[in-house]
A and B are shown apart, each in its own frame.
Chain A
Amino acid sequence: MMMQGSKAWPAVKDAAGLLRAPQRTLPLIRALVSDAAGICFAQPHLYSYSKTRRSTEATLEALLRWIFDAQRSDGGIAAYYSLLSGYSSSYPEVTGYLIPTLYDFAREFPDRAVASEAASAAARATDWLLELQMPGGAFPGGVRAVPSQPSIFNSGQILHGLIRAHSETDDSEIYRAAVRAGDWLVEMQQPDGSWSGPGAYQSAAHVYYSMVAWPLALLSQETGDSRYRDSAEKNLDWVLSRFRPNGWISGINLQGHPDYLHFIAYALQGALECAALLQRNDAVEVVANPAWILLRQFETNKFLSGAYDGSFTNGHRFVCLTGNAQVSYVWLRLFEITGDLRYLNAALKMNEMVKDRIPVQGKPGIVGGLAGSYPIWGCYQPLRYISWGCKFFADALLLEQGVKRSFDSSLVGALACAS
């Protein structure tokens, strides 16, 4: 997710990277020209949607290759590849939630050579994360090169990875690390169910910390300990209280930044998965409201704004590709939960659109990567291909594959019933 307090200094550092490695100039110009041409010719039309000839399998493999390339020698995965400064250092948060994605890929394509590569990448990532755990059970925030404090959000995302790593390996060390992280998160929770104060980004409470509640609900299932479930449910209730009747979600709460679609989608995804795990149909209904508003916007305008200013009607004119991938995932899950085919339909179109934005050629760090924004100079992670974008899009495509399979088998069943 990666936010920066001051925008100026990282931008200067990034630009200086181009002086150190002038060979990056050509790919930079190519990306700028390509996106400028793209937006010049794109004329969204009510009766159309963007289509690509790229298969889902090929795209998934390209995304996975990008992630392999981004895995650093320490086992952690870089936050991003910048067109100006190259790869960042390893990023604990994203390394954590990439673990389930890597294992999901290995499961989806067991016969491919990259499947074992994915599983071993996940194992190396897990080993690196275990080294980072702090004495109290927390995990640090920020990229590894920067000394930092315990982080609630990062601990939640790493917990997600550890739970999956344990279920894949049955390693008791991973289990103990997950429980320690879970205990720390429960301890840090505020009485109202939110997480704020030390360890929270800008010390404030954020609705997108539903992405912390989700792994706690998972941990409860894994351990049978109801404390984690109670904590997850308490946060879910707090998050739901921020969903407004007009569909808007207040409490993204990023000072100095607009409400990026990425964070809105985090809030939706975390709350929806929590609701599903906790069997809270009321919560599914609440989450479906903004998800439906976004669906209507996407179907009508053929794109979703990359950021909003306090309402879904005040959108910024750029695309946050990661947010799009996450929203697609939420729609696919809502289709699975509600059976409303319009969610599946919108997700299929969204995935086509995002597929179309993945470079099919270029150097490692570019080819197969997902840019922060479209056009690439948009205000979310400009001029960068980001690892969490690849993660969320891979998740959406993997889910799409599963949903398509179950749809086809249900169609066969329905036809058999009708005959």
Chain B
Amino acid sequence: MRIVMLCSSVYSETACAVAVRLADMGCTPAGALSVSTFNRGTLLRKLGQWGVKRVANYARTKLSSRNTSKPGRIQNEHLEPWLTRRHAVFQNLNQVANVYRFPVAITQDQNSPRAIAALKAWSPDLIVFTGGNILRREILGVPSLGVLNVHLGMLPEIRGMSSPEWSLLNGVPVGITLHFMDSGIDTGPILRKYEFPDLAHCDSLADLRHRLIAFGVEKLGDVVAALDRGTIMSTPQCDRNSASRGDNQYFVMHDWLQERAATLLAQPLRQPVSETVHG
């Protein structure tokens, strides 16, 4: 099976881990298409969000991480099994690509005609999405099987952003869903979903996210293998009415609510916090 990866940056640890996971199971990507790390939009956005000082720090971090002679530090320690090779750490996707011999292309926009042409040239059966732009219909139609995404929440209950945090506050099991992408936000057909078994070991929301990502990398390999064998079928989601208030799309959680969600890590609820007041 020919697999192509989409990623948000060549410095994405998740993208590196996924590439290694796929390569280790004999499905080395045919190529990877990454969004450019520095572009005008990102720079202006970060300036507006963070201010000049933090942007300068961010740029310095990014530039220093390009220096491959320095030993790297892994942000998500749970990805270590895939990112470490003989005491060296993969710093970016280019290094992974050098070892496993696949091309990496850079684009400003994954939906651009040039990006789509590059993807088509790799003629993928499957695209694995690890981050990047919101994908338009045209790109979704490129692979014969579909575009695979790991969502950090149980679909269809929790769609969209901050899914682990919303799961905690809403008393929904924390887990991941592997699904094909369609034009909606996390509305595509579901391949597999897994409840996360190690919630009790998480000491912060960041730790939970890191563990969920690693859990997702592991399970992604299983699902890709099952797709390759043809032993897995996708199931459409029933709740797809995004125009109604009854939809399950969630948005980035405000810090104040995140702090409350963090208190529920050790002691997950069986119903939403608000229900205890509002019935």
Q: Given A42, A296, A344, which contacts B48 in the complex, CB threshold below 8 Å?
A: A42
The interface residues of chain A lying within 8 Å CB-to-CB of B279 are 339
Measured in the bound complex, the distance between the Cα atoms of B255 and A51 in whole Å is: 9
The interface residues of chain B lying within 8 Å CB-to-CB of A352 are 254
Within B232-276, the residues touching A (CB, 8 Å) are 244-245, 249-257, 260, 263-264, 267-276
A335–B274 touching, CB < 8 Å = yes
| A78 vs chain B, min Cβ distance (A) | 34
Measured in the bound complex, the distance between the Cα atoms of B219 and A304 in whole Å is: 39
Q: A348-B254, A348-B256 are in contact. Are A339 and B245 (CB under 8 A)?
A: no
Q: Given B41, B49, B257, which contacts A344 in the complex, CB threshold below 8 Å?
A: B257
Within A399-419, the residues touching B (CB, 8 Å) are 404, 406-408, 410-411, 413-415, 417-419
Query: Of all chain A residues, which has the CB nearest B242?
Result: A296
Residue B101 is within 8 A (CB to CB) of chain A in the complex: no
A346–B251 touching, CB < 8 Å = yes
The interface residues of chain A lying within 8 Å CB-to-CB of B121 are none
| A275 vs chain B, min Cβ distance (A) | 15
Residue B229 is within 8 A (CB to CB) of chain A in the complex: no
Q: A41-B47, A42-B48 are in contact. Are A339 and B275 (CB under 8 A)?
A: yes
| A340 vs chain B, min Cβ distance (A) | 7
A341–B268 touching, CB < 8 Å = no
| B148 vs chain A, min Cβ distance (A) | 21
B170–A341 touching, CB < 8 Å = yes
Contact with A along B136-159 (1 / 0, CB 8 A): 000000000000000000000000
Residue A48 is within 8 A (CB to CB) of chain B in the complex: yes
Residue B63 is within 8 A (CB to CB) of chain A in the complex: no
Q: Given B41, B256, B277, which contacts A404 in the complex, CB threshold below 8 Å?
A: B256
Measured in the bound complex, the distance between the Cα atoms of B47 and A42 in whole Å is: 8
The interface residues of chain B lying within 8 Å CB-to-CB of A248 are none
The interface residues of chain B lying within 8 Å CB-to-CB of A338 are 278
Interface of A: prevailing SS? helix
B48–A341 touching, CB < 8 Å = no
Q: Given A49, A341, A349, which contacts B272 in the complex, CB threshold below 8 Å?
A: A341
A348–B276 touching, CB < 8 Å = no
Residue A316 is within 8 A (CB to CB) of chain B in the complex: no
Contact with B along A322-366 (1 / 0, CB 8 A): 000000000000011111111011101100100000000000000
A345–B277 touching, CB < 8 Å = no
The interface residues of chain B lying within 8 Å CB-to-CB of A342 are 250-251
B277–A339 touching, CB < 8 Å = yes
Measured in the bound complex, the distance between the Cα atoms of B269 and A406 in whole Å is: 18
| B273 vs chain A, min Cβ distance (A) | 5
| A65 vs chain B, min Cβ distance (A) | 25
Number of interface residues of B (CB under 8 A): 38
The interface residues of chain B lying within 8 Å CB-to-CB of A406 are 277
Residue A244 is within 8 A (CB to CB) of chain B in the complex: no
Within B44-76, the residues touching A (CB, 8 Å) are 44-45, 47-49
Measured in the bound complex, the distance between the Cα atoms of B41 and A43 in whole Å is: 8
A410–B254 touching, CB < 8 Å = no
Residue B225 is within 8 A (CB to CB) of chain A in the complex: no
Contact with B along A36-68 (1 / 0, CB 8 A): 000001110111110100000000000000000
| A223 vs chain B, min Cβ distance (A) | 30
Residue B169 is within 8 A (CB to CB) of chain A in the complex: yes
Query: Of all chain B residues, which has the CB nearest A400?
Result: B256
The interface residues of chain A lying within 8 Å CB-to-CB of B47 are 41, 43
Residue B161 is within 8 A (CB to CB) of chain A in the complex: yes
The interface residues of chain B lying within 8 Å CB-to-CB of A335 are 274
A345–B263 touching, CB < 8 Å = no
Measured in the bound complex, the distance between the Cα atoms of B161 and A415 in whole Å is: 25
The interface residues of chain B lying within 8 Å CB-to-CB of A46 are 134, 161, 252
The interface residues of chain A lying within 8 Å CB-to-CB of B276 are 410, 413-414, 417
Measured in the bound complex, the distance between the Cα atoms of B272 and A48 in whole Å is: 24
Measured in the bound complex, the distance between the Cα atoms of B85 and A217 in whole Å is: 71
B271–A414 touching, CB < 8 Å = yes
Residue A259 is within 8 A (CB to CB) of chain B in the complex: no
A43–B245 touching, CB < 8 Å = no
A48–B257 touching, CB < 8 Å = no
B274–A407 touching, CB < 8 Å = yes
The interface residues of chain A lying within 8 Å CB-to-CB of B268 are 418
A349–B44 touching, CB < 8 Å = no
| A132 vs chain B, min Cβ distance (A) | 41
Measured in the bound complex, the distance between the Cα atoms of B186 and A113 in whole Å is: 52
Query: Of all chain A residues, which has the CB nearest B48?
Result: A41
The interface residues of chain B lying within 8 Å CB-to-CB of A42 are 48
Measured in the bound complex, the distance between the Cα atoms of B256 and A263 in whole Å is: 30
| A64 vs chain B, min Cβ distance (A) | 23
Measured in the bound complex, the distance between the Cα atoms of B260 and A339 in whole Å is: 15
| Closest A-B pairs by Cβ, 10 of them | A339-B278, A43-B45, A339-B274, A299-B251, A292-B245, A41-B48, A410-B277, A348-B254, A414-B276, A410-B276
21 residue pairs of the A-B complex, CB under 8 angstroms, read: A43-B47, A43-B49, A48-B49, A49-B254, A299-B251, A335-B274, A339-B278, A339-B279, A341-B166, A342-B251, A345-B257, A348-B254, A407-B274, A410-B273, A410-B277, A414-B276, A415-B264, A415-B267, A418-B269, A418-B270, A419-B267
Other than A292-B245, A335-B274, A408-B260, give 6 A-B pairs with Cβ distance below 8 A: A46-B134, A299-B251, A340-B274, A341-B272, A411-B260, A418-B267
